Amino acid sequence: MNSYTSGSESHRRFVLWLLMLVLMGMAGLFALGVYLQPLNKKSSLTRVGFYSEREFGWNKPQLIFPGTKLDIPASIDDSGRYGSYHDVVLLGDSFSYIWPEIQWQNHLVAATGWSVATLNLYKIRLEQILSSQVFRDHPPRVLIFESVERNLPENLKNNTSGCGKTPTALQSKKGDASTAFTLSTRPDEHLPGATQLVQRERAWSEIKLDYVRGYIWHSMLRNLTGDARTEFGKVELIRPAPFSSRNQRAMLVFDQDFKKVKRWKEEGMTEMVCRIKSMRRQVEANGYTRFVLMVPPDKLTVYADFVRDKGLRDSSTLGELSGNLPEVMPRLDLALISAVREGKQDVYLPDDTHWGSNGNQIAAETLLSFLRNP
């Protein structure tokens, strides 16, 4: 055997061993991915924070409307569509369009038969809606401005010109105000036929090796440095919270939940209330459309009773804001907190920053009750 043949054979064995090591590594990552369980497409906290669905994924079925026909933004980059009359025009964030089949608007439509146009708060401004031809010619019964608690100061700034600079209200065609404020209702018996219970997806085809590698790396960092409050963090709880996840002694939250106190103080309650009243004057100038402010509370606000860190329990001032605006702001926070205290599961999804189907239903019921009692 000459040296060339010997070298070639050694090279082949090296390549084979190297290939085997790579395949074994990939198999190991895939096996770990199976154990961690595939990422839920609707989750944000486990995906971006590199936590496991096995630990924080929801295990109780969620109620969806599979045949939903909501006019809703297709993604966070889509502005939404509003080119014809709708009973309700909604300018909102991801709490109003992240998962169309589960959104609270489905319950509103099922109860009233109203049509709802949902627009992306980060792509469209209130002024654009009010100045549009369709709003001026065919004003809606209700215009809802929806913003999650942590981002409310910024979103109010972006949609008003300040307390001392209230723009001239745009006049729409006036309608019968009594018609606009009357809430028609439908019986709830038809709801079961329009809904469906779904389980969290766990298909092996959804396992992402990049995520598994990220999970390993971030787990090592957490073991070395602890659960620092990064973009997405884990908050320890003093007792099991009503989540359907395996881990009920910890809660995943968005880091902006920690920063809302500073944001609200910087803006100031007086300024925020003034901006909201300015918005209301503009929206209701036609004598027909009713203005409603919906503020989904942060996850940290709703589960404050369970949080171990006492410094994080009293970080919300939604009660004070609502006390200044009782005619425009339904108390979503009180309804959601009450449901959690009663043990209602997955009011917020354990692997996400948004509501589960229970939370969406509670939000819709709270809004409906508010609209029935102007």
Using CB atoms within 10 A of its CB, is residue 52 exposed (0-12), middle (13-18) or buried (19+)?
Answer: buried
DSSP state of 102: G
**Is residue 374 over pLDDT 70?**
no
What's the alpha-carbon Rg for the chain, to the nearest Å?
A: 25
Task: Please work out, in degrees rounded to the nearest 5, the angle formed at the alpha carbon of residue 354 by the alpha carbons of 211 and 255.
Answer: 65
Domain ranges (residues) in the chain: 1-36, 62-200+250-372
Residue-wise pLDDT for 194-230, tens only, equals 889 999 988 877 888 888 888 888 888 877 776 544 5
In this predicted structure, what is the pLDDT of residue 191?
Answer: 43
Q: Which residue has the higher pLDDT, 40 or 277?
A: 277
Q: Choose between 184 and 68: higher pLDDT.
A: 68
pLDDT for 118 equals 96
Residue 158: both structure tokens together: 């972006």
The 10s digit of each residue's pLDDT in 102-114 is 999 999 999 999 9
Residue with more model confidence, 10 or 212: 212
Q: What tens digit of pLDDT does each residue of 319-335 get?
A: 999 999 999 999 999 99
Most confident of 33-37, 175-179, 355-359: 355-359
Q: How far apart are CA 169 and CA 278, in angstroms?
A: 10
Question: pLDDT tens digits for 20-69?
Answer: 766 676 777 778 778 788 888 778 888 888 899 999 999 999 999 998 88
Q: What is the pLDDT of residue 216?
A: 85
Residue 176 is predicted with a pLDDT of 46
Place of tokens 């002694």: 249
**pLDDT class of 144 with cuts at 50, 70, 90:** very high
Q: What is the mean pLDDT of the segment spanning 173-183? A: 47
* pLDDT band, residue 177 (cuts 50/70/90): very low
Confidence at residue 14, expressed as pLDDT on a 0 to 100 scale:
61
Mean predicted lDDT score pLDDT of the chain: 85
Cβ atoms of 190 and 110 within 8 Å: the answer is yes
Residue-level pLDDT at 157: 93
Which residues are CB-neighbours of 79 under 8 A, at least 6 positions away?
A: 73, 119, 120, 123, 124
Structure confidence at residue 222 (pLDDT): 78
Predicted local distance difference test score (pLDDT) of residue 204: 77
Taking the model in full, what pTM does it have? 0.86
- Say which residue, 342 or 219, is predicted with more confidence: 342
User: What are 230-251's pLDDT values in tens digits?
Assistant: 556 889 999 999 999 999 999 9
* Architecture category of domain 62-200+250-372 in CATH: 3-Layer(aba) Sandwich (3.40)
